[in-house]
Structure 1
Amino acid sequence: MSPRRSGISRIWKLFSPVEKRNILVYVVGIMLYKFGLEAFNGSIVTLAANRYDQEAYHSNSTIRTFERVGLISGLNQAFQCIGSILIAPLAKRWPTRTVLSVSIFVFAIFSAILMIVDAATGGYIRPKDFVPMDEHDFRYYGKYNTNGIIPIYCITGIAFGMVELIRRVIPRDIVGDHPEKLQKMDALVHIFYEIAGVSGAFATGLGLIPRLGNNYSFIITPILFILAAIVWLFISSVGLAVDNTGTDEMTPVADNIESGYLKSIVNGFVLFVQSFCIGAKIIFTHRKFIWIWSCYALTLYAHRYLENGIAPQIAKRYLEQSEWSQIIVGASNFGELLGAVFVFIFGNFIKTPLPWSRLDAIIILLVWYIPFYYPIANNVKYAWIIAATYIPIGFGSAADDIALNSFIQSSLSGLESKHKNISALGAVASFLYSSYIIIYAILNPTLGLYIDRVYDRTDSVRSAFLYTVAVQMTIISVIVLVSTLIPKGALACNPTLIPDEDLDIISTSKESSIETNDRGHILKRKNQQKVSPELVTHF
């Protein structure tokens, strides 16, 4: 194959005209979705932080701002897992693009509820000439209880989990199961996804929140989500479209569709638990994989905590402008974009994800400066300086994440669990992502509580940052670096792992599948059809 044909022209000719059209439609929708998502998430976190601080100030009560913000973020991510489980029965009945569009439409409706509640309780858009009397002056907010944000954010977490899961499997419906087509499409989508993420975060922090206030800065979210839902309806399935004819002998015809769906949900939860257990056994009983847990779950937690936990605290406590956290998040997203492009171009020279994991572990030590940094409050220049340090952090995160995902998929895609409804890849994905969710859901509010107590006592968060940022990231870095020395052949700078064992993937159940008819009786089927691993786990 000539160099010329291996270039962009060859990639362009790889796709048919219909596939090119569908990819274009999908990319337009994903950019609308990501931009709206950044506006929503950034606004909700800053809104909750401001409101909890305001309530504590006016009631002279103990500050619990970032404990509750951490709780909100943790619950949202936990409910994403629930959403990813609920989506599987829907995807078996209707085309993937339809389920995706409906899910994001539901997300749009619930994202608008908070603005309706705010307006109904006396809230309004921040006036152009608004001059706050102090840092707790948000008189344009509605007079509702801030804890009301929690259930709304949890419900949107379910919809978010549905959308995030479906967007990971719909490329198969667009280009089929051709490996190179999938790889190129995923890379292209990821690049445009991060471009929208960077622009969305900056637009929210620098334009929407200062202009509208963070109680209405996500007014574009339901609009963009509805547009994305409409755009995605124009995708035509030309690859491995889901068969929704109801002829699958695994699914008996039920008189009550709702009852069948509820049973499918129950089975989905059972499969999720089984996937978690099988994945844990695969990871912790094989030297080839045991190092992945810390390199995936701990580093993913570290980066999400630095973005969603520390960035809002820096913006609120150091800079006294909560919306500037989106500048920091935008810079992190930009770093992830650079990391994705770098791995796409030079990834073939790195044999395993171990060098990327080591680089990631070293880069996160940059946060040691945070407890000792004294930026001038209300000066956006210092927000950009802090944001610049998040660019390499985002770069390391994306490079490590992409390399680990590729390694996991290539190492486990050929292996099958003895449980017919759970693949080895799906089980490991379920365990790793759920581990991250559990760690984040526990540590984020706990550390937030500690930071709030230190701030309430000393009127500063620097001494708390010494432990929650510097020491914590150092511990994670050391664990990850040590973990990368575990596999055979891992001592080289650019190691090639040595096969060390034959894997015996053992089922947790003697029954090959869980199937029920409309009366609840167990059904068995000779020719089992595997449930797609992407539809039983959120990875």
Structure 2
Amino acid sequence: MPFEKTGSIRIWALFSAQEKRNIAIYVVGLMFYKFGLEAFNGSIVTLATNRYEQDAFKSGTPSRTFEKVGLLSGLNQAFQCIGSILIAPLTKRWPTRTVLSISIFVFALFTAILMIVDSATGGRIKPTNFQQAHEYDYSYYGRYNTNGIIPIYCITGVAYGMVELIRRVIPRDIVGDNDQKLKRMDALVHIFYEIAGVSGAFTTGLGLIPRLGNNYSFIITPIFFTIAAIIWLFIRTLGLAMTNPEAQISSDDANSKSNYFVSVIKGFILFGQSIYIGGKIIFINRKFIWLWSCYSLTLYAHRYLENGIAPQIAQRYLGNSAWSQIIVGGSNFGELLGAVVVFFLSGVIKTPIPWSRLDALILLIVWYIPYYYPPSNNVKYAWIIAATYIPIGFGSSIDDISLNAYIQSSLSHLESKHKNISALGAVVAFLYSSYIIIYAIANPLLGKYLDSVYQSSKTVRPVFVNTVAIQLTIISVVVFVSTFIPKGAITLNPSLLQENDSASVTDSVENTNVMFNKNRESGEVVRKGVAQGVKKEMNSDMNTYF
């Protein structure tokens, strides 16, 4: 292909005028989204941390702060799983840009609710010269039950999961399924995404939280999310994949679709079906099976370091929960550097294998954390820890971008084979949901373990040996070994035999389709009523793929 021979100076010229326009619109909206997201996520975690610490102090009970914060984050992740499952059938029926815009607008609405509740219960913006009467004095907070944050954060998790999953599939809709274009677009988008992420994290930790208090520091979030939702409506995507006319449901079934309960049941069936399809695509193909560890486990590891470990370090090591955003900002800066490297080296490193191996090795940096003794209440050491997160973010970024491009390009040939569920959406939903389930279960359990040890020994370092050093070392080893599973992956910079693998998968799909069509013609598959219509649709979907 001609663009593979083009130098880095002419990379932008590889895209058509419409692709450039769509990328520009997508990037602008994404930067508004990311900045607002950093303000929201950073504020909510620190708000919950402070409120649970305050509640324990007032009641005189042992602190269970990180068990509860872990539960909060875990439930949010679990509801992200629901949101990610919703995407596969939705993007098959409506344009991806429309689903994305609606999702982010719903997200905006529910981020505003928490501030409304805080204000209605006596909360206010942090006074300019506020002086704490004691370490856990946050008298400017609203007087609602801290557990009230949980349902709001869960609902935002649904929208968050939808948006994050769409971010991983919409590049294919904009530039097609070309691997090199996808890598370059993913890297280019990631550069601007992390510029917004770095600035958003530092602005939140150093500006918004100290000035407004973390109960109102995300006041910009609903505004920025709404702007992003409007901007994204102007994207003209390629992948407006609607149901194939030949696969439309019959008139009798169509009338039944108006029945609300039938629609709900069918929806749940499609949700489970998308996970089943995604998991089967992953685990029955040597080409894809390694993705589960390299994608889901590494994503869990990096999110746990940012959303689980950074707040613990900020609170227990440094004594200021807001400084966790400084640490996260260091990770985001590393992700920015990784995106720049992938953008210029995508033609040299043609597969994600080398990047996954590098990411696995970089994770071993965390061994210093249990043995680090910074003085508390000194922001200088938050910056030092943030600097150690830069290479961690770098490894995460280059791995994530390359894997997303590989998945998008490898699964594009299956996209038109399915009536109701996007193959790409199903696979990414399965991988993303796997990470979410792991995080949702592990984070509260590890938080409970941390709290129990902290109450007995007043230190979290023994916990960090197990939860940080040992846990992430195991993940590193599993990921590194997994990178040798695909064909031709033994070399340092392998070139996977994608064409041969793709052909075999496609042949298998087409052969199954022929068998199904013969069965249908012979009358072995007949639609009778809504229940049989749904059953047929499921059987058709399964046979279409496998």
| Same topology, TM > 0.5 | yes
Task: Say whether 1:395 aligns with 2:394.
Answer: yes
The answer on whether the counterparts of 1:15 and 1:181 sit within 8 Å (CA) in structure 2 is no
Q: Distance in 1 between matches of 2:352 and 2:104?
A: 33
Name stretches of at least 5 consecutive residues in structure 1 with no aligned partner.
Answer: 534-539
CA gap of 1:8–1:105, structure 2 versus 1, over 3 A, is: same
| 1:69 Cα deviation after fit | 1.1
Cα RMSD for the two superposed structures? 3.7
Corresponding residue of 1:536: none
| 1:170 Cα deviation after fit | 4.4
Corresponding residue of 1:208: 208
| 1:352 Cα deviation after fit | 3.4
Task: Say whether 1:34 aligns with 2:38.
Answer: no
The answer on whether the counterparts of 1:52 and 1:64 sit within 8 Å (CA) in structure 2 is yes
| 1:473 Cα deviation after fit | 1.2
The answer on whether the counterparts of 2:296 and 2:435 sit within 8 Å (CA) in structure 1 is yes
CA gap of 1:516–1:458, structure 2 versus 1, over 3 A, is: farther
The answer on whether the counterparts of 1:314 and 1:325 sit within 8 Å (CA) in structure 2 is yes
CA gap of 1:98–1:244, structure 2 versus 1, over 3 A, is: farther
Corresponding residue of 1:121: 121
| 1:292 Cα deviation after fit | 3.0
Corresponding residue of 1:370: 369
Corresponding residue of 1:15: 16
Corresponding residue of 2:316: 317
Secondary structure at the residue paired with 1:522? Answer: helix
Q: Distance in 1 between matches of 2:125 and 2:290?
A: 50
Q: Distance in 2 between matches of 1:202 and 1:443?
A: 28
1:74 aligned partner, one-letter code: G
1:441 aligned partner, one-letter code: A
CA gap of 1:219–1:23, structure 2 versus 1, over 3 A, is: same
| 1:343 Cα deviation after fit | 1.5
CA gap of 1:9–1:350, structure 2 versus 1, over 3 A, is: closer
Corresponding residue of 1:335: 334
Query: Identity of counterpart residues, as a percentage?
Result: 66
Secondary structure at the residue paired with 1:237? Answer: coil
Q: Distance in 1 between matches of 2:420 and 2:254?
A: 21
The answer on whether the counterparts of 1:250 and 1:515 sit within 8 Å (CA) in structure 2 is no
The answer on whether the counterparts of 1:303 and 1:397 sit within 8 Å (CA) in structure 2 is yes
The answer on whether the counterparts of 2:132 and 2:138 sit within 8 Å (CA) in structure 1 is yes
| 1:485 Cα deviation after fit | 3.8
| 1:152 Cα deviation after fit | 0.2
2:186 aligned partner, one-letter code: D
C-alpha distance after superposition, 1:391-431 (max 9, x if no partner): 00011111122223333444444468997655665554343
CA gap of 1:172–1:248, structure 2 versus 1, over 3 A, is: farther
| 1:491 Cα deviation after fit | 3.8
The answer on whether the counterparts of 1:175 and 1:182 sit within 8 Å (CA) in structure 2 is yes
The answer on whether the counterparts of 1:93 and 1:245 sit within 8 Å (CA) in structure 2 is no
| 1:388 Cα deviation after fit | 0.3
Name stretches of at least 5 consecutive residues in structure 2 with no aligned partner.
Answer: none
Task: Say whether 1:103 aligns with 2:114.
Answer: no
Task: Say whether 1:522 aligns with 2:542.
Answer: no
TM-score, structure 2 normalization = 0.85
C-alpha distance after superposition, 1:345-380 (max 9, x if no partner): 113323433322221111111111111111111111
1:404 aligned partner, one-letter code: L
Corresponding residue of 1:356: 355
Corresponding residue of 1:84: 84
Q: Distance in 1 between matches of 2:495 and 2:401?
A: 18
Q: Distance in 1 between matches of 2:21 and 2:418?
A: 38
Matching of residues 125-164 of structure 1 within 5 Å = 125-164=125-164
The answer on whether the counterparts of 2:318 and 2:377 sit within 8 Å (CA) in structure 1 is yes
The answer on whether the counterparts of 1:125 and 1:212 sit within 8 Å (CA) in structure 2 is yes
Matching of residues 122-521 of structure 1 within 5 Å = 122-171=122-171, 174=174, 183-233=183-233, 235=234, 237=236, 239-241=238-240, 249-250=248-249, 252=251, 254=254, 259=259, 263-264=262-263, 266-414=265-413, 421=420, 425-487=424-486, 489-497=488-496, 519-521=530-532
Comparing 349-358 with 54-63, greater Cα deviation is found at 349-358
Secondary structure at the residue paired with 1:348? Answer: coil
TM-score, structure 1 normalization = 0.86
| 1:77 Cα deviation after fit | 1.7
Secondary structure at the residue paired with 1:217? Answer: coil
C-alpha distance after superposition, 1:423-465 (max 9, x if no partner): 6655543432222111111111100000010111111111111
More helix by share: 2
CA gap of 1:402–1:29, structure 2 versus 1, over 3 A, is: closer
| 1:131 Cα deviation after fit | 1.8
Q: Distance in 1 between matches of 2:424 and 2:5?
A: 36
The answer on whether the counterparts of 2:168 and 2:404 sit within 8 Å (CA) in structure 1 is no
